[in-house]
Structure 1
Amino acid sequence: MNKNLVFNFNLVNENFDGHTPKMAMIIENGLISWIGPQSKIPKKVKFKKEIDLKKKKIMPAFIECHTHTVFAGSRADEFELRNTGTSYLDIAKKGGGILSTMKKTRTASAKELLAITQERVNNFMKQGVATIEIKSGYALDLKNEIKTLEVINKVKGARVVSTFLGAHAKPPEYDSYGKYLEFLAEKVLPVVKKKKLSNRVDIFIEKNFFEVPESRTYLSAAKRLGFEVTIHANQLSFSGGAELALELGAQSADHVINLTDETIQYFGRNKTVAVLLPAADLYMKCAYPPARQLIDSGATVALATDYNPGTCPTQDLSLVGLLARLEMKMTLPEVFKAYTINAAKALGIDQEEGSLAVGKRANFISTDAELTDFFYSAGAMPEHELFIRGSRTLVG
């Protein structure tokens, strides 16, 4: 780990207004120990190394707070079905969707899953992502959900936050959603906790999937075991998932397309983060979340890709930010904030990263590009360098 490094740079301020004063940052053991004007670097500090980034700007590294990056196989055929009129629910009823990926993920070895997952994580890092959340949920049994979580925890490079999403769909071994949730609560969650594979639990709440009453019981059991909770909420309908997330004090409610004015105002008074996933909405031909109303209500809004094999097979952060600006009327500063400190809040790690402040991880992006070049051209992240805990990260 680097010790006593000093970086000289131009700092992008939190309003992203183009004002970039000449600054310096001291990093000790991967954490920021001092940040301020170059003219006021403490004289008593002895540096192991001084790194001059010259006139480059730096900003917090991006945080991907909602992905399903561990899976085997492809569902490209389903895209054609949906695009020609077959609904997501109809595909699921015929054994497609999540259950299709389940079969391939169960049969894949841990070694195979780790190799393809590492490649995908490297692709996120190339775009300036230092921290990524990855969910399980494509195995849906004890043995293979544990396998998936173990794979997640072996990923190198970026910091990975693992989330247990056993309640992603009902596997064919169970005849009711309630019975499957009882199995997860009684047999799987205690193992996940004992093995320290995750401290977060997610669930997909939707009509004809997991519904609110049984989900409340399951998430309450998870909380009693010490898990934080998050919810796939109100994506396809007014499912009640967002309201349950607010009721339970969840870290986040994700998707949140179908919201009443009352619920939007409730988000504005609550710490639960609204995680918006516009690339998934593009693929699913859904409406877009009411980002403008949420932000104006005072809600904390984050952005993420929702990268997954079926309903959002893209890792493109630029596309997400572009859709947020074009379709959800978010400003560029709001997009940057949604992909940094607000994403950290969605994962409960905002005291550790998401902004450049004393005591936080030195995760940042260095760039010569103009800020307006970001989240402008789909598929084209401006040239930059990623530093994780003060170390320049080279991803081939």
Structure 2
Amino acid sequence: MATIYRNIGELLTLQGAAEKKGRKTREADLGILPKAAMVVHRGVIVWLGPEKKLKTFKTKEFKSAKEIDMNGMTVLPGFVECHTHSLFAGSRAHEFELRQQGATYQEISKAGGGVLSTVQATRKASEVRLRKDLEQRIERFSAQGVTTVEVKSGYALNKTGEIKSLKVIRSLDQKPIQVVPTFLGAHSIPTEFSSAREYLASIESYLPEVKKWTDRLDIWIEKGFFETSFSRAYLQKAKELGFQIVIHADQLTLSGGTALATQVAAVSADHVIQISDIEIDQVAKSDMTAVLLPMADLYMKCAYPPARKLIDAGARVALATDFNPGTCPSQDLSLVGLLARLEMKMSLPEVIAAYTVGAASALKLEAQVGSLELGKDANFFGTAKDWNQLFYSAGDSSVDKIVFKGRNI
């Protein structure tokens, strides 16, 4: 049966932003429809527009449709959270204190902390424990209006554990929202291996099995870890197997990750803090999305990415939390957007587009989610507040109703 959502105060379709492929978003691109209605059938949008025109759409098929009064709410596309490390066990709260005392991320990692600390805890955790914890974290995202969330592996760093992680992530897809798994085997170098080259060769040997669980592959390009000189061949092999490539790029140092991402036609380069005008121009001319993670930069006391330069150059940007146990132990989307506005000088329309159209593009899901258009998934949320009150107050998600593929969450 179809469902008619009526009495929508303002419907932000993001159609204009989608047509511009998430580049140089203006307020006009939000596609704001006042006093609107939307019709959903079998999980997809079949009509939307001014409510006064709804009667012209009411064909025989939809005359018996269920009607839901949105009570004048503002309705937006469900947010797309495109970069998280949500599957893990253990805590790294002690590392936060070490960083406040002056220890660098590299120093903590060399002392056995960082990612490797979480690896030990995650390897010991049962599949049941990992699933339960991940389920709770996904629910926290969903409560903030997220209807699609990406989750990376990368805290097992061996074949058995990484495959187990991907299975757990896949098992929670559609429960209750869309969950997109990404393989991040090249997250750090486990103690069993003497070099990054040796470890990459090990990962490469089981990539065909990984492909059964995901078609997305990520790598952390950084000096002293996985460097461009020997990571390129690994990524080329992954592309030959049909993986979409994602790169953690130029976060701590200018390590060539963004340039490599453009060379291998990656779907996104994430972090991009240290990039110069050369890399900005490369991103702007590519079909790649620059994923910006300002909450991690806050925790790490890093500079923020050059968002203004990227956007003005014509690059497509996305925003995400980078939620992880070490360098960003927060799932607060409102703070991400607030930091984007305060520290990266992004306008509110740019922030909204980055968390919808831009983030959907980073996951290659822009034909399915990220905007409210005919034929796309009916993923949206309603808020009693005006849209210009979004990403204004930290800790306030302002979400009153969430719908995923036409189902109330």
Matching of residue 12 in structure 1 with residue 12 in structure 2:
yes
2:186 corresponds to: 167
Code of the aligned partner of 1:35: L
Between the aligned partners of 2:193 and 2:225, the Cα distance in structure 1 is 13
Between the aligned partners of 2:357 and 2:129, the Cα distance in structure 1 is 33
Between the aligned partners of 2:354 and 2:331, the Cα distance in structure 1 is 16
1:381 corresponds to: 397
Between the aligned partners of 2:109 and 2:347, the Cα distance in structure 1 is 36
Following superposition, the deviation at residue 40 of structure 1 comes to 2.4
Match of 2:207 among 182, 189, 195: 189
Normalising by structure 1, we get a TM-score of: 0.96
Q: Deviations 1:163-201 (Å, cap 9, x if unpaired)?
A: 000000011111111111111111x211112xx211100
Normalising by structure 2, we get a TM-score of: 0.93
**Count of residue correspondences:** 388
Task: State the secondary structure of the residue aligned to 2:73.
Answer: strand
Across the aligned residues of Structure 1 and Structure 2, the Cα RMSD in angstroms comes to 1.3
2:248 corresponds to: 232
Q: Deviations 1:121-169 (Å, cap 9, x if unpaired)?
A: 1011111101100000000000010111111011221100000000000
Alignment of 1:287-302 (within 5 A): 287-302=303-318
Matching of residue 339 in structure 1 with residue 352 in structure 2:
no
- Contact 1:16–1:371 (Cα < 8 Å) also in 2: no
Following superposition, the deviation at residue 39 of structure 1 comes to 2.6
Alignment of 1:1-396 (within 5 A): 3-8=1-6, 9=8, 10-12=10-12, 14=14, 16=27, 20-41=33-54, 42-44=57-59, 45-46=61-62, 47-155=64-172, 156-186=175-205, 188-193=206-211, 196-393=212-409
Between the aligned partners of 2:347 and 2:293, the Cα distance in structure 1 is 16
Q: Deviations 1:281-302 (Å, cap 9, x if unpaired)?
A: 0011100000000000000000
Q: Deviations 1:275-331 (Å, cap 9, x if unpaired)?
A: 000000001110000000000000000000000000000000011001000000000
Segments of 4+ in structure 1 off by > 3 A? 13-20
Task: State the secondary structure of the residue aligned to 1:89.
Answer: helix
Between the aligned partners of 1:87 and 1:37, the Cα distance in structure 2 is 55
Between the aligned partners of 2:333 and 2:27, the Cα distance in structure 1 is 18
Between the aligned partners of 1:291 and 1:324, the Cα distance in structure 2 is 8
Q: Which structure 1 residue ranges, 5 or more long, are not aligned?
A: none
Segment drifting more, 24-33 vs 376-385: 376-385
Following superposition, the deviation at residue 265 of structure 1 comes to 1.3
Between the aligned partners of 2:260 and 2:400, the Cα distance in structure 1 is 40
Between the aligned partners of 1:20 and 1:49, the Cα distance in structure 2 is 22
Between the aligned partners of 1:115 and 1:96, the Cα distance in structure 2 is 25
Between the aligned partners of 1:20 and 1:114, the Cα distance in structure 2 is 40
Between the aligned partners of 1:87 and 1:237, the Cα distance in structure 2 is 13
Following superposition, the deviation at residue 54 of structure 1 comes to 3.2
Between the aligned partners of 1:85 and 1:111, the Cα distance in structure 2 is 37
- Contact 2:149–2:179 (Cα < 8 Å) also in 1: yes
Code of the aligned partner of 1:43: K
Between the aligned partners of 2:78 and 2:72, the Cα distance in structure 1 is 18
Task: State the secondary structure of the residue aligned to 1:380.
Answer: coil
Task: State the secondary structure of the residue aligned to 1:209.
Answer: coil
Following superposition, the deviation at residue 267 of structure 1 comes to 1.2
- Contact 2:33–2:50 (Cα < 8 Å) also in 1: no
- Contact 1:20–1:57 (Cα < 8 Å) also in 2: no
Task: State the secondary structure of the residue aligned to 1:54.
Answer: coil
Following superposition, the deviation at residue 37 of structure 1 comes to 2.2
Segment drifting more, 275-284 vs 264-273: 264-273
Task: State the secondary structure of the residue aligned to 2:273.
Answer: coil
Code of the aligned partner of 1:33: V
Following superposition, the deviation at residue 384 of structure 1 comes to 2.1
Code of the aligned partner of 1:97: G
- Contact 2:334–2:393 (Cα < 8 Å) also in 1: yes
Following superposition, the deviation at residue 213 of structure 1 comes to 1.9
Segment drifting more, 109-118 vs 381-390: 381-390
Between the aligned partners of 1:132 and 1:246, the Cα distance in structure 2 is 24
Between the aligned partners of 2:128 and 2:309, the Cα distance in structure 1 is 45
Q: Which structure 2 residue ranges, 5 or more long, are not aligned?
A: 15-25
Code of the aligned partner of 1:242: T
Following superposition, the deviation at residue 30 of structure 1 comes to 0.4
Between the aligned partners of 1:370 and 1:35, the Cα distance in structure 2 is 20
Q: Name the % identity.
A: 52
Following superposition, the deviation at residue 13 of structure 1 comes to 5.3
- Between 1 and 2, higher relative CO (CA 8 Å, sep ≥ 6) is seen in 2
Between the aligned partners of 1:81 and 1:161, the Cα distance in structure 2 is 33
